[in-house]
Amino acid sequence: MGVRKLGIKYIFDVDGTLTPSRSEIDHDFAVFFSNFCAENEVYLVTGSDRAKTVEQVGEEIYSLCKRVYNCSGSDVWEGETNIRTQDWKIPYHVKTFLENKLEESDFALRTGNHIEQRPGMINFSIVGRNATLGERKLYAEYDTKYSERNLIADLFNIEFASLEARPGGETGIDISPKGSDKSQILDDFGHSDELHFFGDRMDEAGNDYPLSKMIIDNKLGWCYNVNNYKETWKILNERT
């Protein structure tokens, strides 16, 4: 590892970027990444809440990060200190729309916790947040074939102009008021900062897209669309 480079700030998505989706970080990569966090200014930005993020990356990495933007930046933490939290709650008519889409889906498996309220956002999942890894894989394969999440998100965005839905991870759709996507974290960074953002969903429909687009359009740094944590590891190894 090299000496900390002033002005360079690293921002990482979690699911699919630092960990397998909804799973804990690989042990060997965790050792490497802990050292990386100790020697660089590192930030996390994820659609998951704080408890789930700690479960995935561990207390040590979570506390080593300069700041963690949970719930796409609507719930912000520095270690155990909450910096700010948005209190937006899902309106009744939005919940009804999602319940109808759940009922209409041809994917039969239901595991519960399909509409999960998080600070400043909700996560919607046809298979449900209680799904096992195997059940999540079944839905991911179904969604790859039929693009169900993209279709639901497109219909949602037509129906609710003040809100925005984007697929996140392998099975969910992140929904929040417009402007409350991951790009909102840029308010905390200065124009002199050189940002390096790693994410696995920088495609236009993905929940990493708004942040990556803002970074590229405003020439704030570099974005790396990765397929998994191993690719993230490889790129970081090449930089250090």
Domain range enclosing 145: 92-177
pLDDT at 1: 43
User: Which residues are CB-neighbours of 112 under 8 A, at least 6 positions away?
Assistant: 128, 129, 130
Q: Give 184's pLDDT tier (boundaries 50, 70, 90).
A: very high
Q: Give 2's pLDDT tier (boundaries 50, 70, 90).
A: very low
Q: Is 3 part of any domain? A: no
Mean pLDDT for 77-85 is: 96
Mean pLDDT for 74-93 is: 95
Mean pLDDT for 127-155 is: 96
- CATH no. for residue 123? 3.30.1240.20
Of 177, 202, 217, the domain-final residue: 177
Q: Is 107 part of any domain? A: yes
Mean pLDDT for 84-110 is: 96
Q: At 79, which amino acid appears?
A: G
Mean pLDDT for 132-147 is: 96
Per the structure, how many domains does the chain have?
2
Task: Provide, rounded to the nearest whole percent, the portion of the chain with pLDDT above 90.
Answer: 90
With b for 16 or more beta-carbon neighbours within 10 A and e for fewer, the 85-109 pattern comes to ebebebeeebeebbeebbeebeeee
Of 177, 192, 226, the domain-final residue: 177
Q: Give 179's pLDDT tier (boundaries 50, 70, 90).
A: confident
Q: Is 59 part of any domain? A: yes
pLDDT at 3: 43
Beta bridge partners of 179: none
Of 144, 161, 177, the domain-final residue: 177
